[in-house]
Chain A
Amino acid sequence: MKHVLKLHVNGEDHEVLTETHKTLLEVLREDLGLTGTKRACDLGTCGACTVLINGKPHLSCLTLAMDAQGKEILTIEGLAHDGKLHPLQKAFAEKGAIQCGFCTPGMILTAKAFLDEYPHPAEGEVKKAISGNLCRCTGYVKIVEAILSVAEEE
């Protein structure tokens, strides 16, 4: 059965007529066209689909879209402001923390939630925070460097 779904994504209100059994990931990609959020394992083990709900990292492949109503959803598309990249996006680009880029949206959003919560982490804490985000280009060293560089700037 279809329902009218009201989602607040990246500061904008959206109304979508969609099925109740759809995950947030499916609605973001298929109904809203926000394909920055990536679909990989689809079972909650890779972190590629991570989005922020009320500022905290959530696996959108294991979140019902119905359940995300009335909450602030932030995807990678909503991170840059007025054409200016978020410090984390900039750091990822500058430090070479991106190779194929598939894990990057989830990685950056997880890092953002983590730095918002713990502004001055140790290296080990950063590694632990992104331990649920898999990068198959084996670029973890540069990713950790990029996140730490933003933490230090702040």
Chain B
Amino acid sequence: MRLPKFEYLKPKTLREAIRTVASDPKGTIALAGGTDLLVHMKYRLIEPKRVVNLKAIPRLAYIVQGKEGMRIGPLTTLHDLAASSPIQESYPALAQAALEVGAYAHQVMGTVAGNLCQANRCRFYNQSAFWRSARPPCYKVGGNICHVVPVRTAGGRKPGECHSAYCGDLAPVLMALDARARLLGQDGERLIPLKKLYTQNGKKPLSLKKGELVKEILVPPPSGKTVYLKWRYRGALEFPIVSLALSMKKGKDGRIIGSKIIFSGIGTGPVEAVEAEKAMKGEPIDEGLIDKMSIQAKKEVSPMKTSIVSAVYKRKMAGILLKQALQQLL
């Protein structure tokens, strides 16, 4: 499959890149690792007039231990992230999540910011132009229907919106670690909790403004333990059917002080099981609580049939993953 034609630009600084993207945000796209973007372009899901290659910009790949935690450069490759000893020591779940993305070559090519900004996925969307031509265009490609929920169903599913799923591996772990993203745009910098990068709107999943790019990821010093569990068809390459990042901090008496439960693959953005987090607070962790929380998480999430896996199965696996993760931290 050939790429569509485009103009290739290679800015020297991040500000120059931002200016270029902002001058025609609809027709311009920023390129990092390319493992997600180029596939979208081959499928004609996006046909940008201009491609801005960020990789020629110096000093965007780094992992630095700062006063407030770890600073990770946006173009740090997943391979370098996983191989970094400070990351392995302080945030083993993050190193592991980077190794769960694609395979060796994808990790060498893929970048941290690229992974965080990867497009939402759907079985009706991630298809060639020919395949898609059999149906009317969906919301995600500018049409007027969501093929996942084309009509109102008994369960009250909303037919009027895009239900594509966010399937990134790094975002749930970084959110569980309370990471923040430093964004740089035409109006200057802003520092936001990583959670705020995701709009939960399938059609426009990222809250980036016109021309805005991820400049840095800040991860606070680790407190408590974090695990990442990814459930997929096979041990490599695949996006998650459902994945879970769980971080938990226990007090001296063994009771849970705080926790984060973040799922990927089952919502229009990374999904936080807020009710389960609340219910766990102050409780001693035992088998009884684990069963209760597993049921709570299962109730709380609302996956859709965005891949060939049924929503019921995803919901069930979300509960099972939380159970397994809690048992690891018992």
Is there contact, CB below 8 Å, between B105 and A66? no
**A50 CA / B4 CA spacing, docked (Å):** 22
**A132 partner, pick from B8, B79, B105, beta carbons under 8 A:** B105
A62–chain B nearest beta-carbon distance, Å: 5
Is there contact, CB below 8 Å, between B39 and A131? no
Is there contact, CB below 8 Å, between B1 and A110? no
The interface on chain B, measured as residues whose beta carbon lies within 8 A of the other chain's beta carbons, has a size of: 29
Per-residue B-contact encoding for A7-47, CB less than 8 Å = 1, 0 else: 00000000000011111001000000000000000111101
Within 8 A of A (CB), among B134-170: none
**A50 CA / B104 CA spacing, docked (Å):** 10
Known A-B contacts: A43-B42, A66-B53. Give 7 more (CB < 8 A): A44-B102, A57-B105, A62-B109, A63-B109, A67-B34, A129-B104, A131-B237
**A128 CA / B42 CA spacing, docked (Å):** 27
**Chain A positions within 8 Å of B103 at CB level:** 47, 131-133
Is there contact, CB below 8 Å, between A43 and B1? yes
Within 8 A of A (CB), among B1-39: 1-8, 10, 31, 34-35, 38-39
Is there contact, CB below 8 Å, between B236 and A19? no
B128–chain A nearest beta-carbon distance, Å: 9
**A64 CA / B32 CA spacing, docked (Å):** 11
The interface on chain A, measured as residues whose beta carbon lies within 8 A of the other chain's beta carbons, has a size of: 33
**B55 partner, pick from A42, A56, A67, A128, beta carbons under 8 A:** A67
Residue on A with the closest CB to B108? A56
Residue on A with the closest CB to B99? A128
User: Would A44 and B104 be within 8 Å (CB), given that A21-B4, A56-B79 are in contact?
Assistant: no
B79–chain A nearest beta-carbon distance, Å: 7
Residue on A with the closest CB to B103? A132
**Chain A positions within 8 Å of B237 at CB level:** 45, 131-132
